[in-house]
Structure 1
Amino acid sequence: MKQLRSQQWYAGQGRDAYIHRAWMRRGLPNDAFDGTHPHVAIANTASDLSPCNAHLTEVARSVADGVLAAGGVPLVMPVPSLGETQMRPTAMLWRNMSAMAVEEMIRGNPIDGVVLLGGCDKTIPALLMGASSVGLPAVVVPGGPMLTGTFQGVALGCGTDVWRLSEEVRAGTLSEEQFTRSESAMIRSRGHCNTMGTASTMGLLAEALGMVLPGLAGTPAPDSRLLEGAHATGRLAVELVAADRGPADVLTKASFHNAIVTLAAIGGSTNAVVHLLAIAGRLGIDLTVDDFDRIGSHVPLLVDLQPAGRFLMDDLYRAGGLHAVLREVRDLLDPAALTVTGKPLVDYLDDADVWDREVIRTIAEPVQPDAGIAVLRGNLAPGGAIVKPAAATPELLQHTGRAVVFDSIEDLHARLDDPDLDVDPSSVLVLRGCGPRGYPGMPEVSNMPMPKKLVEAGVRDMVRICDGRMSGTAYGTVVLHVTPEAAAGGPLARIRTGDLVRLDVPGRRLDVVGPDGAPVELDAREPAPAALASFAAPARGWERLYVDHVQQADTGADLDFLVGSSGHRVGRESH
């Protein structure tokens, strides 16, 4: 048997080994250090300030029981937790910091493998980025979605119905008192958002990538089967160490192919694009934003879930779950992709039945025929921009309208509801200064609210363009991740109110055009002074480091010095 990595700390009779063992003898038996019992860290993102992850401490206990049952030594290792609803200015600002902390905690501690516990949006991406950089055997346990709450007899989707109900308040069709009453009904149980938002998407994609015990992703957080699966994952982690099977053995180009197919079939969040690109970057896998269009744009949407459809995550679970969806698109999957068990993903699909054809459609009768991410290019997005057709108004996917430009989020808030704002339903709302560098952190603001006077007139969707992101629970005809962002010298900084913007999703174009329809030469213009003044200019701390080193959305918005793997060796292996 290959020597366990943890023995670099514990083996021998020297002073350093003495110190390492002695300080850990707080309940561990002698044979915990004899080199036959793998030490498995449980990277836990539980936090009361990340309410969607608060239950993960209970999940960690089940993982620990599984590790013990398999002959391992479980060690809970708290890591940074990012609460999407709580953190300011945006949780995305801290994803790379969390990934860095995960990487360093795995590398710097005497462990042989790791179980990654995540749920809320950025936690699973950060865990996978960090673990992939180190390369030790790793496996993910997704925390699972909450159960469906109801208000006035109607099921509520987390996030999606926040946007819907808040617009109804602005339109005067729902009272503020009723809106407030819906709060306690929306969050019915432990778990992350129950729509196909970023949390649900990344939990399912972690399994599509092969990094989750097959069949576990999507299990509702309060369901006893989550704890059963957590126990089994703890046992699996010990097996992974014995097999020396790390993320690089599972996460291959074939795995990312399958994740992109899955993203389209489930109607997943646009945020998955930037997260998958970042994870691939840590592994040195040649994945580009164009792969999402090439592989996924013509994959049918099979899952009828909010925000693109009607149902919610516990409906998907009872209808057959992820494997039932993947069985429908099996011919589109790469059969070479493995899972953490060492077996191909497709081997787990034979017995995956669909129990509700309203929730999971057939490939012959999908919710939408071509639902994957579309990548746009043009003089407004030379590095690319993305749009999610499944969440858009079909009539707006080919549209030309007059730009109404906002130089910052503050500018948007100050002017959007001005009754004198020169805007009509055919206008194109443009918000800049919201990219990775400009905000900083690329906030979820691209799904701008409709101007109040248009909401009151019944308008519920318009073409919107931004260099930021949008919540995976949101909907609408939103072009986002515009690259390069305005703060990186992109042409978004040069567009003006009154310019004609032409969106052509079928043609994959996004352009500012003249009256004759020809693209305008934007490079000849100077950037808008108000936009330049709004860009972030932090003087210290993480924000300064982030702004100085963050890459653009088309490569995953990771820090330039974190791209690639680093291995598990510690630079100085004794103190």
Structure 2
Amino acid sequence: MSDRQRPLRSAQWFGTADKNGFMYRSWMKNQGIPDHEFQGKPIIGICNTWSELTPCNAHFRKLAEHVKQGVLEAGGYPVEFPVFSNGESNLRPTAMFTRNLASMDVEEAIRGNPIDAVVLLVGCDKTTPALLMGAASCDIPTIVVTGGPMLNGKHKGKDIGSGTVVWKLSEQVKAGEISLHDFMAAEAGMSRSAGTCNTMGTASTMACMAESLGTSLPHNAAIPAVDSRRYVLAHLSGNRIVEMVNEDLRLSKILTKEAFDNAIRTNAAIGGSTNAVIHLKAIAGRIGVDLTLDDWSRVGRGTPTVVDLQPSGRFLMEEFYYAGGLPAVLRRLGEADRLPFKDALTVNGKTLWENVKDAPLYNDEVIRPLDNPLTADGGICVVRGNLAPNGAVLKPSAATAELMQHRGRAVVFEDFDDYKARINDPDLDVEANDILVMKHCGPRGYHGMAEVGNMGLPPKILAQGITDMVRISDARMSGTAYGTVVLHVAPEAAAGGPLAAVRNGDWIELDCDSGRLHLEISDEELAARLAENDPTAASTLIASQGGYRQLYIERVLQADEGCDFDFLVGCRGSDVPRHSH
């Protein structure tokens, strides 16, 4: 079908000569839009998560202008609209709490408005999955433009990574290694420019996921936010989205099971955040792809981590881009026959392999050869057992190798408040080989599943020179964090999961090689402990909340299911009942 033959979705609003068409066009014309802009041109929505309260995305007004230039140049007409901006740095209790809310905003804004395609302006951690989830539920032509990472942080003449340096310096303060003054002195130098975290945190990980899924142009993930090439990419994305309308290249043609396999393999190679496990599951659920934790084991395990970036390695996102960025990683995987589906389609109309097979690679230290990896097996480790029947995850590239097979005594915190109240107590009964366990920090228990899973170690342990312990919880952790941390235990404690039954002094075995997480008590004892829990506690908790919080607790799925709302799973398409004025 040629461009002229294919009816535009926006024509349902602007393409008629009746009363409704009159009104839709007339109201839009109060912005100074001439009549010819409504004559068969694709209307391109620019979905903008700009907000001064989301500092990662605070430069998006300028980014949007470059997208608009590209749309106009290609013969489309751009219309920018705001959506909920869930920034991780300021939003309490966590931006994950509002990820699904933002996705609902995006979905209904796309479906209810006269647009033929959409450009998603994303950056901060949860804005990327939220916007992709909402767009996937509508399935119109879609392209992702990321805001890019900030410049390298600087402190005492050295590069420091956003997020990662906070965890490191905070532990050094608690251990008495540096003063509080030294800690505060790093604050201004950590965030020197517009953009997202400059480590391989969740924002950079999800930017890489968007690119490896095929939903963005090559190099979208790594160009620094203040690099002029970021604006060139935005312009070219505006060009391309108009062509995608003419080709009817919808998200469902890009987001296939094969694309998700490519993303899982990529996540292992880059040392990506564990948060990607939850977000990819949620995105897949919206487009109708069956993605499970088993896919992470099937595709990811055995893949070397070759990107030497903090928090797993040494460098930052600037060096990653200058070394060749994600196309260089994908080329390296493909040449070793480690890219699962080279023929997966991407938004520029080419296959993933066509986009990267000739990609330049400038630095073997930053993007290592596969035979000299940062971590030999960097795939997300999925563990199961009587403590996590539905699974839990661990990031090998950020863990201590010696602790990935470990047996220790449980030191239990009932919730995050209990942890904060007791962790610094010099009388805390804890030894270096123990396992820290924190409950009630999952999707329902700590609404939104906050990034508190990487519990800071007790000062009495840090004073011994110990920098890592096994930690287990139903929480998440920041992608900028590190350590041997077992996360996303499912079902969570607040949903009656076995984690709720762990007591101080219990012995726990972690074996990442065999994928095992085992609480060393009998099945009968476990059942008896769980039976002691008050069955009315959960319903009482829900009834006391009200508002969005109550909706969240009632309808959120568990971590292994992507933490989406149960009623949002699935693709509902872009059709909307016509309204007659």
Give the TM-score, by structure 2 length: 0.96
Residues 119-134 of structure 1 mapped to structure 2, 5 A cutoff: 119-134=123-138
Amino acid at match of 1:102: V
Partners in 1 of 2:481 and 2:580 — Cα distance?
A: 50
Structure 1 gap segments, 5+ residues each: none
1:548 equivalenced with 2:554 (yes/no): yes
- Give the aligned residue type for 1:359: V
Contact 2:284 2:291 in 1 (8 A): yes
* Per-residue deviation, 1:29: 1.3
Of the three residues 211, 216, 228, the one matched with 2:220 is 216
Q: 2:250 aligns with which of 221, 246, 249?
A: 246
Aligned partner (choices 417, 422, 428) of residue 421 of structure 1: 428
Q: What is the CA deviation profile of residues 117-137 of structure 1, one whole-angstrom value per residue up to 9, with x for unaligned ones? A: 000000010010000000111
Distance in 1 of aligned mates of 2:310 and 2:24? 51
Instruction: Check the 8 A contact 2:411/2:437 in 1, yes or no.
Output: yes
Query: Residue 452 in 1 paired to residue 459 in 2?
Result: yes
Distance 2:131 2:172 in 1: 37
Deviation at 1:572, TM superposition (A): 4.4
Q: The residue matched to 1:483 in structure 2 has which SS?
A: coil
Distance between the aligned counterparts of 1:438 and 1:52, measured in 2? 28
Structure 2 counterparts to residues 377-392 of structure 1, below 5 A: 377-392=384-399
Aligned residue in 1 for 2:84: 80
Is 2:324 the partner of 1:320?
yes
- 1:108-147 residue pairs with structure 2 within 5 A? 108-147=112-151
Is 2:351 aligned against 1:344? Answer: yes
Deviations 1:151-203 (A, max 9, x none): 01221101111000011111111111121111110001110000000000000
8 Å Cα contact 1:513/1:519 also seen in 2: no
Taking a change above 3 Å as real, the CA distance of residues 269 and 520 of structure 1, as seen in their structure-2 partners, is farther
RMSD: 1.5
Paired residues for 1:28-427 under 5 Å: 28-35=33-40, 37-330=41-334, 331-333=337-339, 334-427=341-434
Query: Number of residues paired by the alignment?
Result: 571
Which is further off, 277-286 or 326-335? 326-335
Local SS of the residue matching 1:560 = coil
In the alignment, the residues of structure 1 paired with residue 122 and residue 576 of structure 2 have an alpha-carbon distance, to the nearest angstrom, of 25
| Counterpart-to-counterpart distance in 2, 1:271 and 1:530 | 31
Specify the code of the residue in structure 2 equivalent to 1:563.
Answer: V
Equivalence map 1:463-502=2 (5 Å):
463-502=470-509
Does the 8 Å CA contact 1:407/1:531 hold for their aligned counterparts? no
Mapped to 1, the partners of 2:431 and 2:532 lie a distance apart of 23
In the alignment, residue 561 of structure 1 is paired with which amino acid? F
Match of 1:8 among 4, 8, 12: 12
Q: CA deviation at 1:458?
A: 1.7
Distance 1:532 1:156, change over 3 A: farther
For residues 46 and 212 of structure 1, the distance between their equivalents in structure 2, rounded to whole angstroms, comes to 19
2:370 maps to amino acid: I
Q: Give the conservation status (yes or no) of the 8 Å contact 1:444–1:469.
A: yes
Equivalents in 2 of 1:533, 1:541: separation in Å?
A: 19
Query: Aligned with 1:405: secondary structure?
Result: strand
What amino acid is the match of 1:33? F
2:53, 2:249 → 1: CA distance? Answer: 34
Consecutive unaligned residues of structure 2, counting only runs of 5 or more, are none
Between stretches 20-29 and 537-546, larger displacement belongs to 537-546
- Give the equivalent residue in structure 1 for 2:574: 568
- Report Cα offsets for 1:95-135 as digits up to 9, x if no partner: 00000100000000011000000000000100100000001
Measure, in 2, the Cα distance between the counterparts of 1:559 and 1:385: 20
For 1:520 and 1:263, how far apart are their aligned partners in 2?
39
Q: Aligned with 1:559: secondary structure?
A: coil
Shift of 1:529: 5.7
Q: Which amino acid aligns with 2:563?
A: A
Aligned AA for 2:470?
V
Cα offsets for 1:253-305 (capped at 9, x unmatched): 11001000100000000000000000000011011011011100110000000
Report the Cα distance in structure 1 between the residues aligned to 2:107 and 2:465, rounded to whole angstroms: 49
Q: If the length of structure 1 is used for normalisation, what is the TM-score?
A: 0.97
Distance, in Å, in 2 between the alignment partners of 1:39 and 1:257 is 33
- 1:383 Cα deviation from its structure 2 partner: 0.3
Alpha carbons of structure 1 residues 520 and 349: separation in structure 2 relative to 1, 3 Å: farther
* Alignment-mate amino acid for residue 381 of structure 1: A
- Aligned-pair identity (%): 55
> Are the aligned partners of 1:408 and 1:433 in contact in 2 as well (CA < 8 Å)?
yes
Q: Distance in 2 between matches of 1:519 and 1:529?
A: 16
In structure 2, the residue corresponding to 1:82 is in which secondary structure?
coil
Separation in 2 of the partners of 1:371 and 1:160? Answer: 19
Measured after TM superposition, the shift of residue 457 of structure 1 is 2.0
Separation in structure 1 between the aligned mates of residue 535 and residue 178 of structure 2, nearest angstrom: 35
Query: Does the aligned pair in 1 maintain the 2:498–2:530 contact within 8 Å?
Result: no
Distance 1:138 1:528 in 2: 50
For 2:530, what is the secondary structure of its paired residue?
coil
CA distance in 1, matches of 2:17, 2:231: 40
- How far apart in 1 are the matches of 2:442 and 2:329? 33
Q: Would you say the 8 A contact 2:496–2:530 is kept in 1?
A: no
Q: For residues 531 and 313 of structure 1, what CA distance do their matches in structure 2 show?
A: 48
CA shift in 2, pair 1:446/1:164, >3 Å: same
Q: Give the Cα–Cα distance (whole angstroms) in 2 for the partners of residues 356 and 484 of structure 1.
A: 43
Displacement after TM superposition at 1:519 (Å)? 7.2
Q: What residue identity is the alignment partner of 2:565?
A: L
Q: Tell whether the 8 Å contact from 2:207 to 2:220 is kept in structure 1 after alignment.
A: no
